[in-house]
Amino acid sequence: MIAIPENMASANKAAVEIFLTLTDTAFAGGERLAALHLGLARSFLEDGLAGFQSLSGVKDPEQFVALQTKLAQPAMEKFAAYSRNLFEIATQAQEEVSQVVEAQFAVLNKNVGDVLDKASRNAPAGTEGAIAAARSAIAASNSAYENISKATRQLVEMAESNLAAATSATVKPSGTTAKARKAA
């Protein structure tokens, strides 16, 4: 009977450690997001001031269009870099949370397996079917969890490739347009 309070204390300690790990992950992600947002805001402010100063020297509409095109390309590239960094921060946080969840799922599976082993050794005759059904349900839930984890990883990989393709497509046409306007 003494093992129950020790088990509860151990479980509480593990829960606190998990909470602290997830909190650290959230704060680290928040710090990175704040730094990313501030960096982008500072960059756009500096670029805006430089662009405003450049506009003061514009004398005709052609110069204005050329300047506008010249200023648009770096802004698009910065926004694309911002999007990549934002996605990277989110992906890393998701991976860290997934690792914690997977570790806890493994511990839970082990504990349930241990309980079922003890139950099967001490169970009265005729309960083998119930224990087998419980093991089957656990195996099915493990399979479902693995399938969901695999699908999530595939979605993240697909999103990464789509983001890369969208970024490439967004930045390249701007450069092409700028070249076409210069040629005209």
Using CA atoms, how far residue 88 sits from 93, 97, 135, 149, in Å, is 9, 14, 39, 19
Distances from the Cα of 166 to the Cα of 40, 82, 84, 124, angstroms: 20, 13, 10, 63
The 8 Å CB, 24+ separation contacts for 47-54 are: 47/71, 47/74, 47/75, 47/78
Say how many CA atoms lie within 13 Å of 1 toward its Cβ: 0
- Rounded CA gap, 2 and 104, in Å? 25
DSSP 31-71: HHHHHHHHHHHHHHHHHHHHHHHHHTT--SHHHHHHHHHHH
Give the dihedral sign, CA 22/23/25/30.
Answer: positive
CA nearest 47: which of 20, 25, 71? 71
Sign of the CA dihedral running 105, 106, 108, 109: positive
Terminal CA-CA length for the chain: 87
Q: What is the per-residue pLDDT for 183?
A: 45
Per-residue tens of pLDDT for the chain, all 184 residues: 445 677 778 878 888 898 999 999 999 999 999 999 999 999 989 988 888 888 888 888 888 888 888 888 888 888 888 988 998 998 899 889 888 888 888 888 888 888 888 877 887 877 778 878 888 888 888 888 888 888 888 887 887 787 777 767 766 654 444 444 444 4
pLDDT at 172 (0 to 100):
60
What is the predicted pLDDT for the residue at 1?
44
